[in-house]
């Protein structure tokens, strides 16, 4: 191989490798999308002879599915709203006041963001039995809120640090209370941060399967994630088309929200946990 | 803080009001997060069970659960499986593949970067149950992979039975690589081009630049990312559970699956908690390392 051929090879090689990786990543995803519009969907990826929307119609018109989607949306939305409100309140003194134990507190919060939730689910289950919260949708939301609180506080505190204090002071001079200052001045300036936290907590619980699986019993209370799992177990081996249609619909909110979140994370992606957002 | 100086009334109140703001979040975290962690320690020393005699009388049984754990061959298998899963899918898979994609994408055609990047990201954004389903059908007996290899005349393989661990590892790589890719893309963009250019002038080869300059430069990112990815992978349950259910046999029973089976299939909550404590302790150690790396 002469110098020139080598050079050409080194130019093409990265594209070849990346294309191969891309195809490997694409195939499983392509299957679910194609199967969802194929009236005779099979386990393997194939070109449909005709395209149908019937799989989607079947999934959408099923009242049990509608119910699961609504429950899932309400749970995730409720959690996101609660986390944002509580985390803003908590972030305020952490950002604006000089507190004695602020540093160890923030380190504990950071520590808690990375603990695997899976490991505490057995005691949580027992706790829910004791508190009579087992099989209670609101109880699951409360647990979700608690488990994403550390992330919310950490992010919003860092976002709040970058909001200058002068504007708030101006509001106080005009007679606003601290609370009104947060609501009317600080929060509107932190919209990107609030949206980031809201989107991440929403997607987190929307995609979570383990927590409701442990804490809910009655199938009528199942959110979309559990319903899909149930569907998978019951008809998974037969009805690929409808299963795929359900999956695509269920994945949609996560994908749309991710795209939206890109707008708020203008600085790109880094391990920004420690730096100011 | 200057803001306090201008608002004396506020300053006077502040010593007490901080509590009012922090209390709701602290309360909810104490009840639903910190208390369960403490319960994990406590329950793991008890005979807590859902049915039978033990369900009526909670008894303190010392380290019996732990003695049982170290004698239980399935525990050893599940620890081993967790290690294989962690190293295969997190340390090697996501980390190395994510780095490779980020590295190869550097200075490439913008359109091409976008397309490949979006495809990899799609796997990350997709919820884990959908991932499990996509990969389950990909590796299924009549799935896409078998269709491809039989097209090339290679005999079909029952992937989910023959190499179940490999299939869940690949599923987790598929689901998680985008995170590492994004992290490494950001890190590689921060490597000053002057250093690399200087090395080229000095006659360094591509490999020398990669191993002597680029990798040492982003060393801290690699460590932090490794910790985060490992922590995320440690708790993976749904992906494995939906794909293989921990089987066939115990071949994909990782610690979370084993914990679930003991607690909710065999109703041995105390024993299940002892296993989750082990999981929690590994998580705590890794998290402490993670915080240390963040502080620097």
pLDDT < 50 stretches in chain A: 267-277
* Interfacial B residues in 260-289 facing A (CB < 8 Å): 263-264, 269, 272-273, 276-277, 279-280, 283-284, 286-288
Using CB atoms within 10 Å of the CB of residue B257, give its burial: 0 to 12 exposed, 13 to 18 middle, 19+ buried.
Answer: buried
Q: What's the gap in Å between the CA of B88 and the closest CA on chain A?
A: 17
Give B149-182 pLDDT, tens digit per residue. Answer: 988 988 888 888 889 999 999 999 999 999 999 9
Give the CATH class of A62-265. Answer: mainly alpha
Q: Is A205 helix (H, G, I), strand (E, B) or coil?
A: helix
* Phi then psi dihedrals of residue A174, to 5 deg: -75, 5
- For Cα atoms A186, A192, A193, give the angle at the middle one, nearest 5 degrees: 70
Query: Is B21 within 8 Å of A92 when comparing Cβ atoms?
Result: yes
Residues of A in contact with B238 (CB under 8 A): 208-210, 213, 229
pTM of the model: 0.87
Task: Please provide the average confidence, as pLDDT, over all residues in chain B.
Answer: 85
Contact B259 A125 (CB under 8 A): no
With contacts defined as CB-CB under 8 Å, which chain A residues touch B135?
28
The domain ranges of chain A are 62-265
Chain A residues close to B127, C-beta within 8 Å: 206-207, 209, 225, 250-251, 254
Write the burial class of residue B77 (CB in 10 Å: 0-12 exposed, 13-18 middle, 19+ buried): middle
In this prediction, residues B95-101 reach a mean pLDDT of 93
pLDDT tens for B16-71 read 777 888 899 999 999 999 999 888 888 888 877 766 655 566 777 777 788 888 88
Chain B residues 2-31 with a CB less than 8 Å from chain A? 2-4, 6-7, 10, 13-14, 17-18, 21-22, 24-26, 28-29, 31
Question: String of b and e for A148-183 (b: at least 16 CB within 10 Å)?
Answer: bbbbbbbbbbbbbeebebeebbebbeeebebeebbe
β strands within chain B, DSSP E: none
Residue B274 CA from chain centroid, whole number:
20
Which chain A residues in 69-88 lie under 8 Å from chain B, judged by CB atoms? 86-87
Q: Closest CB to B29: pick one of A117, A149, A207.
A: A149
**Can you tell me the distance from the alpha carbon of A180 to that of A172, in angstroms, rounded to the nearest whole number?**
9
Query: What are chain B's domains?
Result: 72-295 (1.10.3720.10)
What pLDDT, on the 0 to 100 scale, is given for residue A269? 46
How close B24 comes to chain A (CA, Å)?
Answer: 7
Q: Which of B80, B81, B48 is nearest to A122 (CA)?
A: B48
As a whole number, mean pLDDT of residues B212-234 equals 88
- For an interface test with A, the pick among B9, B13, B19, B21 (most A C-beta atoms closer than 10 Å) comes out as B21
pLDDT of the residue at B201: 85
Residue B120: its pLDDT value, please? 92
Q: Tell me B109's DSSP state.
A: -
| Inter-chain touch B24–A243, beta carbons under 8 Å | no
Residue A150's pLDDT is: 93
* Residue-level pLDDT at A273: 41
Interface probe with B: pick from A120, A183, A204, most Cβ of B within 10 Å: A120
């Amino acid at each position: 191989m002469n110098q020139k051929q080598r050079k050409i090879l080194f130019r093409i090689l990265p594209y070849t490798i990346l294309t191969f990786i891309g195809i490997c990543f694409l195939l499983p995803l392509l299957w679910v999308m194609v199967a969802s519009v194929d009236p005779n969907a099979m386990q393997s990826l194939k070109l449909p002879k005709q395209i149908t929307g019937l799989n989607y119609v079947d999934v959408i018109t099923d009242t049990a599915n509608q119910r699961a989607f609504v429950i899932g949306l309400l749970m995730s939305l409720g959690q996101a709203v609660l986390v944002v409100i509580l985390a803003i309140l908590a972030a305020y003194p952490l950002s604006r006041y000089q507190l004695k134990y602020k540093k160890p507190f923030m380190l504990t919060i950071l520590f808690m963001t990375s603990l695997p939730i899976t490991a505490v689910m057995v005691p949580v289950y027992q706790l829910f039995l004791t508190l009579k919260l087992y099989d209670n949708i609101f109880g699951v939301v409360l647990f979700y809120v608690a488990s994403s609180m550390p992330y919310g506080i950490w992010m919003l505190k860092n976002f709040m640090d970058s909001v200058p204090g002068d504007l708030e002071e101006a509001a106080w001079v005009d007679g606003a209370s601290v609370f009104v200052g947060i609501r009317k001045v600080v929060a509107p300036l932190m919209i990107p941060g609030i949206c980031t936290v809201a989107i991440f907590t929403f997607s987190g619980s929307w995609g979570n399967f383990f927590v409701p699986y442990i804490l809910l019993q009655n199938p009528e209370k199942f959110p979309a994630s559990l319903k899909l799992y149930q569907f998978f177990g019951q008809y998974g081996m037969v009805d690929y088309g409808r299963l795929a249609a359900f999956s695509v619909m269920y994945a949609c909110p996560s994908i749309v929200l991710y795209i939206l979140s890109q707008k708020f994370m203008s600085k790109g992606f880094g391990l920004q946990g420690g730096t100011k957002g | 803080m200057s803001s306090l100086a201008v608002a004396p009334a506020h300053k006077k109140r502040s010593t007490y009001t901080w509590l009012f703001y922090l209390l709701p979040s602290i309360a909810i975290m104490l009840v639903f997060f910190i208390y369960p962690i403490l319960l994990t320690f406590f329950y793991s020393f008890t005979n807590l069970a859902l049915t039978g005699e033990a369900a009526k009388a909670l008894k303190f049984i010392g380290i019996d659960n732990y003695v049982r754990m170290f004698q239980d061959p399935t525990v050893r298998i599940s620890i081993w499986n967790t290690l294989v899963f962690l190293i295969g899918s997190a340390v090697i898979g996501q980390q190395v593949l994510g780095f490779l994609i980020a590295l190869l994408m550097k200075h490439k055609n913008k359109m091409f970067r976008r397309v490949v990047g979006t495809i990899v990201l799609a796997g990350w954004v997709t919820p884990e149950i959908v991932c499990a389903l996509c990969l389950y059908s990909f590796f299924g007996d009549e799935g896409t992979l078998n269709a491809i290899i039989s097209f090339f005349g290679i005999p079909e393989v029952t992937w989910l039975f023959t190499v179940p661990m490999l299939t869940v590892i690949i599923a987790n790589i598929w689901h998680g690589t985008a995170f590492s890719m994004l992290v490494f893309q950001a890190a590689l963009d921060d490597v000053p081009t002057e250093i690399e250019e200087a090395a080229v002038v000095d006659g360094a080869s591509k490999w020398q630049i990669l191993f002597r300059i680029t990798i040492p430069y982003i060393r801290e990112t690699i460590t932090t990312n490794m910790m985060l990815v490992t922590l995320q992978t440690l708790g993976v349950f749904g992906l494995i559970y939906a794909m293989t259910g921990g089987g066939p046999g115990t071949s994909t029973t990782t610690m979370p699956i084993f914990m679930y089976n003991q607690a909710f299939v065999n109703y041995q909550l105390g024993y299940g908690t002892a296993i989750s404590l082990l999981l929690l302790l590994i998580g705590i150690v890794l998290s402490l390392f993670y915080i240390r790396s963040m502080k620097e």
